[in-house]
A and B are shown apart, each in its own frame.
Chain A
Amino acid sequence: MSVGILTDVTKCIGCLQCVSACKEAHDLPLDVPRIWQKNDGLSADNWTSILQKPDNHYVRKQCRHCVEPACVSVCPVGAMHKTKLGPVVYDSGKCLGCRYCMMACPFGIPRYDWDKTVPHVEKCILCYDRLEAGKQPACTEACPTGATIFGDRKKLLNIAHKRIKENPGKYINKVWGEHEIGGTSVMYLSDIDLGFLSYQTHLGTKPLPERTKPAMESVPFAFVGMGGVMLGLNWIIRRRMELSKKNGKEEETADE
């Protein structure tokens, strides 16, 4: 089973209860606007935020918990980890602070404790501790309108498609997160385009780790191959030198 969250943009009223609940659930301190923060509301102390869009549209931004996460595949020490249940969690004890996960994320989600001398990466962990205790995430629990719901990913997808079918014309016929970059656990239903949630509007269906896979798989071959080529080259050149030396000697003897 893999769990997820479905957020229905048409139902969100922008009350910020989810943001508030997230703060309380993770004991996050008061958020202070800093120069390195960006205007999407996410920060090291704010793991989810509400973006206001024209015509009273409110879009909740949070970690998408990709099915094949880029951040997990790039972390050199495996500090980012995709759990079987679905959430992508972070192990601060392993992290060495290279920030490759922040670079690799196509949604720009992971944030950094830039103000601390012992900084860590901060992002939504889908309330993994609460899930293990049999509870649902704090944000979905707090939502007063049912705009953001928690459940099994497949069931959520069914619900989403059902809603699209039952309300023709209400939604754009697409579930954001169903196929994008191999699917995400946090999905959206919307009547406006949600391309602004990622760095580019169209992400394609190919999972990001697949892009480095061919190069990483050819590493051993490149390693051994380069050694072989160099040894071979060296053998040929030495052989040639020996031959030319011999020839030179023979010529010398012939001269004599």
Chain B
Amino acid sequence: MNRVKTAKLILWLFTGFAAAVALNRYIFGLGVTTNLTDRTPWGLWIGFDVMGGVALAAGGFVITAIFYIMKRDEFHPLVKPAVLTAFLGYLAVIFGLFVDLGLPWNIWHMIIYWNPHSPLFEVGWCVMLYTTVLLIEFSPVPMEKFSRYAKIRNFLMKFRFPFVLLGIMLSTLHQSSLGTLFLIMPFKLYPLWYSNILPIQFFISAISLGLMMVAFESLISHWLYKRKPETNLVAKLCKVTAWILLLYFIVKITDIIATGKFGLIFNGSWESNLFIIEVLISTVIPGLLFSFPRLCRNIKIQWTGSIMVVFGMLLNRIDVGGLVMLGATGDNYTPAWTEIVISLGIVSAAALIFLFVIENFNVWEIQPKDAESLPYAPPSFDFTTKTWLGTPEISGTAKHSLAFILSFAIGMFLMPGKHLHNQGIDNIKVKPATGIDTLYINGNRDDQFVKFPHQAHIKWIRTHGILINGNDSCKTCHHLNLPGEKLSQCWECHTNMYAQVDFFQHDWHASTKGANLKCDNCHKAGVNRSAQSAKKCTDCHPTYKFEAIKGGSSKKYYALSYTDAMHNLCVSCHLAESKKLKDKPKLALCSTCHKTHLQNYLTTGLNWNITVPHFNNVIIPNLNSKERVNVEQSDKNK
């Protein structure tokens, strides 16, 4: 296997994986597929994909400035790859945004609804325009191959200089405006990173990162295709970078000293350590390495230096983009694996397009050939000479498709289904109610309990004859009981406070500690094992009556959440009765059952521990507005 082939295989794997995760993100929403919270609404996708992506793509404007504006002709071999990288980088940013935005289909709103005060508005416009400019700058390269585009190509070539100039101007704006984005968060961003000249710092660091990204991309692509590296050119880039890093360092440190934050660097907090590491990796070490002309020409130093700058500056963007806000917000955000997979997948897809373009168009002066891209495998046996030529290779395309599909399947398999269906609801086990004649229902133990006069309800049901299930008044509420029981309590099936649960408990039935059944006891041998083909519950438990559950069937095993179950049961009856009874108009209102903290405390005489922090939720039944109006009207009538 050669390097290109391996690299492409890995890239296709990542792309497939990310595609599966992205699909799930669109189906289930952001909440369950990321670790973002209300306190950390921007995560890895903004820090790495958007902020980092834009900065990485800065190579495009820096190299065009050096070549077209400063007329340094020796950099010609780097121009096309740099513009291509920049274009793909911006495409990746836009793709990243499409995943991260809550309503990505509204992204065009920026064109018609203007808010010029917003830095993000300016960044959005610049990214849109600059991506177009990059497309125009790069399009002559693929057009070269097709003679019918010759006229358009000539036209574009004539106006190359103004477009390059426009590109540089636009880049200046949005590279610095990405820093302006964070000027409005002085209370969240750790003081070492917050600075009034953040836009200037961002612009300077983007130049150094752009230069080093071009160097890194030249090194890695020449290594992949086993060509002679462009050592001299990269050495020149390294020399320039050393000066820019020096400038960046001076600006950054002067600002920190001038604003009196110098002491913070060495105060030992994790932020200060992170700051030291970031500055060392991104600026100090590579800057020192590149300050020696002899070291600049050493290919190993080129590799280390460029990787350090790229990694360090990316770390800077991730830090500012949210990491160093965690101290102020008190959140403990770590990117979910899904976020990491999507970030990797977008980069991989961009890299694949890059490889495709350099293999098919004249980006480099000598176009590389990928033997693996041939659709047909060479023969394994030469009949004329009767020699064995080795095992036939599977063609590249087939392998890559297989890699994509396989990793897509793995991605789909790994998405945590149960978690997704719970929609981020924590698993809160219901605690049984306490009391005998009067029950205190306090399922999640937050002391916002409901006083339920059990005896009074029994008495009332018997006298008023609301008998849902024949003559047995208990079954009005105890609608389904566990085997061998007559009066199962609510919490025994509705075990979860807020999420729907499976009350059938397949694992319990199969386990030796539970019912100890074999598969064949319920699933017929030779038939595909599924809930549909299995025995009915009532075959073993003839007393079960599933009709008692609304729309229930013996094949439907889901129990509502405890809160939903209680509300459905109580409110439906209370609503009906409130219409009938003239002396009890408020029977169906929330406050009938849900007393306030204070009222509970005063009316029960129980010594409830009132220092328990308030629970977040005031419980209101899911009445629709129509029902509510009815209740209000019945209030007025009476």
Contacts and interface: CB of A to CB of B under 8 A. Distances in A.
A145 to B, nearest CB: 11
B27 interface: yes
B26 interface: yes
B449 interface: no
Nearest to B108: A96
A95 interface: yes
Nearest to B171: A226
A231 B114 CA distance: 30
A233 B69 contact: yes
B611 to A, nearest CB: 8
B32 interface: yes
B103 A96 contact: yes
Contact of B169 (A39, A97, A226): A226
Contacts of A95: 102-103, 106
Interface stretch (A1-9, A44-52, A124-132): A44-52
Interface string A204-244: 00001101111110010011101100110110011001000
A223 B173 CA distance: 6
B616 A46 contact: yes
Interface in B599-636: 613-614, 616-622, 625, 628
Among A98, A102, A112, max chain B CB count under 10 A is at: A98
A76 B71 contact: no
B620 A20 contact: yes
Interface stretch (A30-38, A148-156, A167-175, A186-194): A30-38
Contact of B113 (A94, A112, A118): A94
Contacts of B114: 77-78
A33 B113 contact: no
Interface residues of B, number: 84
A36 B37 contact: yes
Among B120, B328, B591, max chain A CB count under 10 A is at: B120
A224 B26 CA distance: 41
B184 A212 contact: yes
Contact of B181 (A96, A100, A227, A233): A100
Contacts of B177: 215, 219
A214 B173 CA distance: 14
27 contacts: A15-B598, A30-B563, A35-B31, A35-B426, A37-B616, A38-B331, A42-B38, A46-B617, A73-B115, A73-B117, A74-B120, A96-B102, A96-B110, A99-B102, A103-B185, A115-B32, A116-B29, A117-B29, A208-B186, A211-B196, A215-B176, A215-B179, A222-B176, A227-B169, A230-B69, A234-B68, A241-B71
Given A38-B37, A73-B118, 17 more contacts: A20-B620, A24-B628, A34-B423, A35-B425, A36-B38, A74-B117, A96-B104, A98-B101, A100-B118, A103-B41, A113-B29, A117-B29, A119-B103, A212-B180, A226-B168, A226-B172, A237-B71
